Structure 1
Amino acid sequence: MTSLIRNADINRRRLLATGAAAGVLAMPMAACAADAPSEAVEVQIAEGRLRGARTGGVDAYKGVPYGASVSGMNRFKPASPVAPWTGVFDATRLGTPSLQDPTTVYGKNEPPPGEDCLVLNVWTPAGGGKGRPVMVYSHGGGYTTGSGGSTAQDGSMLAREHDVVVVATNHRLGVLGYLYLGELGGADYAGSGNQGLSDIVLALKWVQRNIEAFGGDPANVTIFGESGGGAKTSCLYAMPSVAPLFSKAIIQSGPVVRITTPDVAAQTTRMFLEQLEIAPADWREVLDVPAPQILAAQKALNAKVKSDSGGWRGIQSLTPGTYGPILDGDLLPHHPFDPTAPASAADKPLMIGWLDNEAAFFAWTGKDVEAFRLDEAGLKARLSGRFGDKAPALIDAYRSDRPGATPSDIYLAAASYYAMGAGSVLAAERKAAQGRAPAYVYNIAYRSNRRMDGTDIELGAMHASDIPLVFNTVASPDTLAGSRADRFAAARNVSAMWANFARTGRPSAPGQPAWPPYDPKTRSTMVLDVACTVVPDRFGAERRAWAKVDPAA
């Protein structure tokens, strides 16, 4: 995440896989639907016929191919649409996740990861209908791990409860999705630094061709994603060529203001080739390296590099040796929100926000118990290590704004804002400054009662605990949202806000206050919880303090 968190350079999904959270994300969430009997359903799309499964009032089609092979000589190249097929394609099982460690995907009966991963899942209310809002989800896991098949992100409840069509994609990750070969390979590989994103674009084109067959409205598509998925959504939102493919966006704990430049991406490529003992002049040898060696080299390089993500620039690390979207003059001709919000999305409403205690997740999965037990000296040491002589003023601002806060409270609040808040606020400010479509800013305050392993420390509104709230997959008491009975009310509020935004461009939930758009004067922020509230400039003092410590360039 950021250097404010111990072991922050370790990928969050890899950490999940080594701790209790791996089981949490693998837990079936909507037990009543999961246990219900299924019946076969079929649908005709442009490429052929699909067989899915109807369960609990929702039709699910899984592992649907949208792109052709991206392995062999197609490695690092743009994907082509999948070829039509004859007969009926069995879409009752999840498809292959992108190449990664098999412990970092969490779908039920999900196949092992591999290179040919261009598949998607669709959930739609059973019984016909048309004109439903479409919500296309990009999974988290940074740019290197995860899949659209995680049970925590199952779209059944959203579809059933809110009459929407949900789509989740698998797409290339890590080296296979973001290794830049334009410097070495010339025009044939000019877009290689953004193939992970170009895959999602291909999926959005599939949605335009096919979503009416599932009852969806191709003219009302919302793109959304959490963490790394929010980062991908930040980039998709800024792509001029993608603007006709969606109408709204939601960025959850994933602001990206700036992305990597080609010169830095070229350094990463040379570092990766060196890891494989391939000279730059012999770069074509990487096309023949077996997938397991590609993954091993990616992980080895990742272990050597410290992330510099966070602050107003957003969550993408811009350090050589890390992977992510780049400025390429074509798909991404400019930074997503720098120096302004994207002109191509000026008329597209945006929701953006983060959780109150994001950093607790990373402390938990990094086994950093000390983060919850800091004294004054420990707080100063941690913040001074990153911000030097500016740290005392920052601590004073938090202490003044949060009377009674412990050193750990201050540290976790500061780390959370620096990681996810600062970039979200700057993106919202620049979106609001366009004066066209509205920006809506939120904070999730619902406190999970999940505990730090072996302690009585509750983790609260931590990173990724919004996933079961958004998808309303809280039936199990073992999700990241915790086990309190009021989690159901919080999930109803959050999922309704998301679905109604997708439907109308205005987030709302029954019985909750109206959500005003964000503007530089009032800075209205919706605090999402069991009972939601609108708070003007909720973290104003902290925002002003950060503007001095980490001013936007």
Structure 2
Amino acid sequence: MDATRAQAPAVLPARADVPPAPPVARTTAGYVKGERTGGVIAFRGIPYAAAPVGPLRFASPRPPAAWSGVRDAGQAAGTFLQPDGTGSEDALYVNVWTPSTHQTTARPVLVHVHGGSWSSGGAAGVDGARLAERGDVVVVTFGHRLGVFGFGLHEELADPETGSYANWGLQDQVAALRWTHENAAAFGGDPGNITLVGAEAGGASVHQLALLPVTRPLIRRIVPVRPAHVRAPGLCLTAEDARTVYDTLAARFGTTVPGLRAVPAAELNAAWHRLFSVRPEERPVRSGRHYRGPVLDGVWLRAYDHEQPPPELPVLSVYAAPGLPPAGPGPADEAELRTWITELLRQADPAADRTAADEVLRAYRAAALAEGRTAGLPSLWAAIREDAHFRHPVLRMADRHARAGRWPQYVLELALPAAAHPADPAHPAGPAGPAHPAAAHEAAVALLFGTRGPAGHLAGAADTDGQPSREPTEAGEVLADLVVSFARTGVPRAPRVPDWPALSPGRPRALVLGGAAVARTGALPQQGQLRFWDDTGRVPGRA
């Protein structure tokens, strides 16, 4: 008898009553143990950076401490501090969903950057299991610093190691992307095929990450959904205003700007939000702005979005169709509508007045009547706000990308009305202006991931008995297939979707998702409204 064979141990058959061993993956900091859920393996709560607390508050992200043994990754971490005081500073973690950790075929990696006006939200609102299983892809979500802790600027907060003194939340995003590139293979993903997906503030973030020299080589494609493109003073603090805010906070707490690192996080968070909860003219910043986005610092944000060249990679841009029923209450009367329009215009031009608001209202009312559309106050307000904040910048950026001609740009119009949404907690109603309802960006995220968003709804139409119709499910399946196809091949294709050409100069066509046909191609609607913003220059979109 062969001695080698004689000494070989017997292979015992697997016992049906013994569960399989928990899946384990090896990251750069140590081993992690996930859990099988349906057809995927979920790894939750993996640190991608050290907790930004104590001396690391307002510091560039540091690598997480390595661990020995196997770390349990069965529970997601909490969100970063929210406007209502929930959450904590210790929130720099990633969640990963993968069909398998084996690398028989490396899978595309989809990294989701959450929205929330740079001051709310988190990874907890998105579950990547369905998309990972349906598309055979690896899905990554993560949390990052928000509000006063994440998006500001002050030279007295310079990091002694990196010299950076601004945009800590954007630096966290860079760190999470680097972590994904370094660890994708451990979860069966292809580190050379990473696609970024983000909505609203997250959509602006994926655009910025695609332009940064340190991260551009790590990204293959991007899918910005209704991005809130950064511009001052409407969608970011100016550097001067940021310094004023931190000086004001330091004075109120009786400390220096570096001393803000020792202020209890909940108190500092509450004080920051109180500064922006009063009427614009009562705020300490000259612009009177509403939002809290990246600040122009020359390093992490080198220029405003409309001033930078288009990303040198394929882009799939998603925006909300004009003319959708408004989400949330509309203005009570025409006087209130003019007030709301004035406040909206002041986010781009602090000198805007009622005369400018009248000009906008006349143009939109005339366009609606000329095209046979409703000219009711709620519809006019919804169209004006959507175009000024989102549709005009998105489509003008897409035009510019198409004119450059080096990389394909696909444009998708989401034509599903959002179900009733509560007001966005980051933008409360009251003396600061009208509530900003959470709408199309949450609808797109809920559709793509097939899960209920942070507001507890599944966006989409409803049938006559008030129950959700099949249309959102069908549209969500198509959207998921398109995004996965784009991530895998660079070309968005899906069953039930007609041939969809990339955007080209002089041919403004989009894929319209929603309605009886589920998906169809068509010319971009209501171009006259967009030309109004071009002609007045009140909303930057061209460069």
Q: After TM superposition, is the score higher than 0.5?
A: yes
1:534 corresponds in structure 2 to 521
Q: Determine if contact 1:68/1:83 at 8 Å carries over to the other structure.
A: yes
Residue 517 of structure 1, CA deviation: 1.2
Cα separation, partners in 2 of 1:186 and 1:124, compared to 1, 3 Å: closer
Moved more, 94-103 or 223-232: 94-103
Of 274, 281, 289, the match for 2:248: 274
Could you give the per-residue CA deviations for residues 154-191 of structure 1, whole angstroms, max 9, x where no partner exists?
11110011111100011111111122122x34574852
Point out the more displaced range, 443-452 or 425-434: 443-452
State how far apart, in whole Å, the 2-side matches of 1:118 and 1:62 are. 12
Relative CO higher for 1 or 2, CA cutoff 8 Å, sep ≥ 6? 1
Kindly state the Cα deviation for residue 406 of structure 1 after the two structures are TM-superposed.
Answer: 3.6
Residue 125 of structure 1 deviates from its aligned partner by 0.9
Alignment correspondent of 2:166: 193
Once residues 178 and 484 of structure 1 are traced to their aligned partners in structure 2, the CA distance between those partners, rounded to angstroms, is 40
Match of 1:209 among 166, 182, 187: 182
RMSD over aligned Cα, in angstroms? 3.3
User: How many correspondences in the alignment?
Assistant: 481
Aligned match for 2:221, one of 241, 244, 248: 248
Q: Match of 1:138?
A: 113
Distance (Å, rounded) in 2 between the aligned partners of 1:305 and 1:81:
40
Structure 2: gaps (5+ residues) = 1-18, 343-353, 424-436, 462-467
TM-score (norm 2): 0.80
* Matched residue, 2:267: 293
Residues 188-220 of structure 1 show CA distances to partners (whole Å, capped at 9, x for unaligned) of 485232110111111111111111111111111
Report the secondary structure of 1:154's partner residue.
coil
Query: Does the CA-based 8 Å contact 2:365-2:375 persist in structure 1?
Result: no
Matches of 1:284 and 1:381 in 2, distance apart?
Answer: 39
Match status 1:123 vs 2:110: no
CA distance in 2, matches of 1:276, 1:210: 40
Alpha-carbon shift at residue 424 of structure 1 (Å): 0.3
1:67 — aligned with what?
49
SS of the residue corresponding to residue 442 of structure 1 reads strand
Q: 2:500 aligns with which of 515, 529, 538?
A: 515
Paired residue for 1:438? 408
Q: Does the C-alpha gap of structure 1 residues 62 and 430 become closer, same or farther in structure 2, counting only changes over 3 Å?
A: same
Q: Is 2:481 aligned against 1:481?
A: no
In structure 2, the CA distance between the partners of 1:201 and 1:358, relative to structure 1 (3 Å rule), is farther
Aligned residue for 2:94, secondary structure, equals strand
Question: Counterpart of 1:294 in structure 2: which amino acid?
Answer: L
Deviations for 1:225-251, whole angstroms, at most 9, x for unmatched residues? 111211222221221221011111111
Other-structure match for 2:486: 501
C-alpha distance in 2, partners of 1:507/1:541?
28
Partner of 1:28: none
1:38 to 1:424, Cα distance in 2 relative to 1, 3 A = farther
Taking the aligned partners of 1:357 and 1:179, their CA distance within structure 2 comes to 33
Larger Cα-atom Rg: 2
- 1:331 has 2:300 as partner: yes
Q: Distance in 2 between matches of 1:156 and 1:437?
A: 30
Q: 1:221 aligns with which of 194, 202, 207?
A: 194
* CA deviation vs aligned residue, 1:18-39 (integer Å, no higher than 9, x gap): xxxxxxxxxxxxxxxxxxx998
How many Å apart are 1:115 and its aligned residue? Answer: 1.3
Question: SS at 1:297's partner residue?
Answer: helix
Alpha-carbon distance between aligned partners in 1 of 2:224 and 2:82, rounded to the nearest angstrom: 24
Alpha-carbon distance, 1:451 to partner: 7.7
Alignment-derived partner of residue 315 in structure 2: 350
State the distance in 2 between where 1:72 and 1:220 align.
Answer: 36
Q: Is the 8 A contact 2:60 2:159 kept in 1?
A: no
1:23 is aligned to: none
- Other structure's SS at 1:498 match: helix
User: Which whole-Å CA distance do the structure 1 matches of 2:325 and 2:269 have between them?
Assistant: 29
Shift of 1:149: 1.3
Alignment partner, residue 31 of structure 1: none
The Cα offsets for residues 329-354 of structure 1, whole Å up to 9 and x where unpaired, read as 2233222331532xxx32x1111121
CA contact (8 A) 1:201 1:242 kept: yes
Change (3 A) 1:493 1:318: farther
**Which has more helix, going by share of residues?**
1
For structure 1, the residue ranges without an aligned partner over 5 or more in a row are 1-36, 104-111, 308-316, 454-458
Q: Which moved more, 1:323-332 or 1:192-201?
A: 323-332
Are 2:126 and 1:147 equivalent residues in the alignment?
no
Whichever residue aligns with residue 415 of structure 2, its letter is A
Alpha-carbon distance, 1:358 to partner: 9.1
- Confirm or deny: 8 A CA contact 2:83 2:273 kept in the other structure: no
1:440 Cα deviation (Å)? 1.2
- Paired letter, 2:58: F
Aligned partners of 1:518 and 1:525 also within 8 Å:
yes
Contact 1:450 1:481 in 2 (8 A): no
Distance 1:44 1:185, change over 3 A: closer
Query: Counterpart in 1 of 2:203?
Result: 230
The change in CA–CA distance for 1:360 and 1:190 in structure 2 (over 3 A counts) is farther
Aligned match of 1:81 in 63, 76, 100?
63
| Partner secondary structure for residue 277 of structure 2 | helix
Instruction: Tell me which moved more, 412-421 or 286-295.
Output: 412-421
* TM-score after normalising by structure 1: 0.79
Counterparts of residues 263-412 of structure 1 (less than 5 Å): 264-278=238-252, 282-304=256-278, 306=280, 322-338=291-307, 340-341=309-310, 345-346=311-312, 348-356=313-321, 364=328, 368=329, 370-371=330-331, 383=341, 385=354, 387-412=357-382
Percent identity of equivalent pairs = 28
Partners of 2:166 and 2:439 in 1: how far apart? 34
CA distance in 1: counterparts of 2:361 and 2:132, whole angstroms: 46
> What is the CA distance between 1:405 and its match in structure 2?
4.8
Cα distance change, pair 306–162 in 1 and its aligned pair in 2 (3 A):
farther
How many Å apart are 1:519 and its aligned residue? Answer: 2.2
2:318 and 2:470 map into 1 onto residues whose CA distance is 25
Give, as a single letter, the amino acid of the residue that structure 2 aligns with 1:135: L
Distance in 2, Cα, partners of 1:197 & 1:418: 24
- Report deviation, 1:287: 1.5
